[in-house]
Structure 1
Amino acid sequence: MLIEETGVAQADLPLEPFKAHLRMGSGFGTETVQEPVLAGFLRAAIAAIEARTGKALITRQFALTLPEWKDTQAQALPVGPVQGIVSVTVVSRDGPETMIEPQRYWLVRDMQVPLLKPSGAMLPYIPPQGSVEIVFEAGLGQSWGAVPADLQQAVLMLAAHYYEYRHETRLGDGCMPFGVSSLIERYRPLRIGLGARA
């Protein structure tokens, strides 16, 4: 289970660039009327692109809870690029929590598949019916300006597409445009064989 602990702040949303992209008029005293609507489409576009790429655009904190390690020698993290591990906590079935010392694990900073690895032979033991919570920070940049230009353009294009088709209920015209797919293609996880993630 992955939880986004800190969302994208309102101040980090590119509202003004989005208005310019939509060629919205200014100087009429009503420039802020649609801002909540525009912000909603921007958030939807960011979420869609993050889901397709497996990358957090703007750095924020996530918490991953697992009932067991997929591999006791390396645990893949579902969102990248990971900037740092905040904490690793083992929780027993009846509630007590044990925070694991940072010296017992380290982060493999891979753009596609970031890994939590043990400093010793294996990752900390998870008791039966217990769990482990990994809190980490992931993102391509601390602010919108630090996001790569092609991904910025993809977000604006997709948000504009959502805005244009906001009353569309059928599948097809409202799906992700080819131009957006082309811009995000190089950020998507590489898959080999029967859909396996490399």
Structure 2
Amino acid sequence: MILVELTEVPDTALPVARLKEHLRLGTGFSDDDVQNALLAGFLRAAIAAIEGRTGKVLLERTYAMTVDAWRRAERQPFPVAPVTSVISVALADAEGVAATLPAGSWRLETDAVRPCLVIPGFLPPIPTGGSARIVFRAGFGPDWAKVPSDLAQAVLMLAAHYHEFRHETALSAGCMPFGVTALIDRYRPIRLSGGF
């Protein structure tokens, strides 16, 4: 399975002003905006880390998922949630020639943990050496107000941590402050098998 982000979060959707408040940065100066790009970078990194740990897409974007075999014969789970819409489903043969399935032939089964692409009966077979490409939208919403408050707070805390320790290179791999892990713990997926 290959998951590619086709669109990115616009800078205007990032809570830079909230992070400034969280960091208690001074205001009212002529150069108030000088750190905006740096803070936006910390926010993007924190969002990516939280999304990676939880499998939840915080701000809505478009993705393409490519698989060379269906996970199950009757449904294909998405690796992230919440999925808000499926835009297209196409099957490609070994030479890369693709055929798009009609929109009415499949549906999105919404689920907070494991949304799925479902086709009545069974999913059509993927040609030998070929693949299926599913383009979909995922995320809690297009703006920061739609993000659940605990996940939003975790992002601010982690971005502040990145800001505070921006010159530190000795932190161990996977280091995340306890308060952040406590906030995101209930969203972390539980894997009972080798798959998703």
TM-score (norm: length of structure 2): 0.94
1:68 match: 69
Indicate the SS of the match to 1:18: helix
2:181 match: 181
Q: Quote the offset at 1:173 in angstroms.
A: 9.7
Structure 1 ranges of 4+ moved more than 4 A: 194-197
Mapping of 1:145-156 within 5 angstroms? 145-156=145-156
2:45 match: 44
| CA distance in 2: counterparts of 1:12 and 1:80, whole angstroms | 19
Closer/same/farther in 2, CA of residues 196 and 122 from structure 1, 3 Å limit = closer
| CA distance in 2: counterparts of 1:26 and 1:66, whole angstroms | 49
Matched residue type, 1:62: Y
2:95 match: 94
Tell me whether 182-191 or 161-170 shows the greater mean CA deviation.
182-191
Q: Given the alignment of the two structures, is residue 162 of structure 1 paired with residue 162 of structure 2, yes or no?
A: yes
1:107 match: 108
Query: How high is the sequence identity, in percent, across the aligned residues?
Result: 50
Q: Quote the offset at 1:95 in angstroms.
A: 2.5
Indicate the SS of the match to 2:32: coil
Indicate the SS of the match to 2:113: coil
Q: Quote the offset at 1:191 in angstroms.
A: 3.3
Matched residue type, 1:97: A
1:133 match: 133
Q: Quote the offset at 1:172 in angstroms.
A: 4.0
Matched residue type, 1:133: R
Q: Quote the offset at 1:190 in angstroms.
A: 2.5
| CA distance in 2: counterparts of 1:179 and 1:95, whole angstroms | 47
Indicate the SS of the match to 2:37: helix
* Post-superposition CA distance 1:29-78 (Å, at most 9, x none): 11111111111000000000000110000111100011111212111101
| CA distance in 1: counterparts of 2:166 and 2:32, whole angstroms | 19
Closer/same/farther in 2, CA of residues 122 and 173 from structure 1, 3 Å limit = closer
Give yes or no for contact 1:62–1:135 (8 Å, CA) kept in 2.
Answer: yes
Where in structure 2 are there 5+ consecutive unaligned residues? none
CA root-mean-square deviation? 1.6
Give yes or no for contact 1:165–1:173 (8 Å, CA) kept in 2.
Answer: no
Give yes or no for contact 1:168–1:174 (8 Å, CA) kept in 2.
Answer: no
TM-score (norm: length of structure 1): 0.93
Tell me whether 135-144 or 44-53 shows the greater mean CA deviation.
135-144
| CA distance in 2: counterparts of 1:161 and 1:67, whole angstroms | 39
| CA distance in 2: counterparts of 1:44 and 1:102, whole angstroms | 35
Indicate the SS of the match to 2:34: coil
Matched residue type, 2:166: R
Where in structure 1 are there 5+ consecutive unaligned residues? none
- Number of residue pairs the alignment of both structures matches: 195
| CA distance in 1: counterparts of 2:194 and 2:93, whole angstroms | 34
Matched residue type, 2:123: L
Give yes or no for contact 1:59–1:142 (8 Å, CA) kept in 2.
Answer: yes
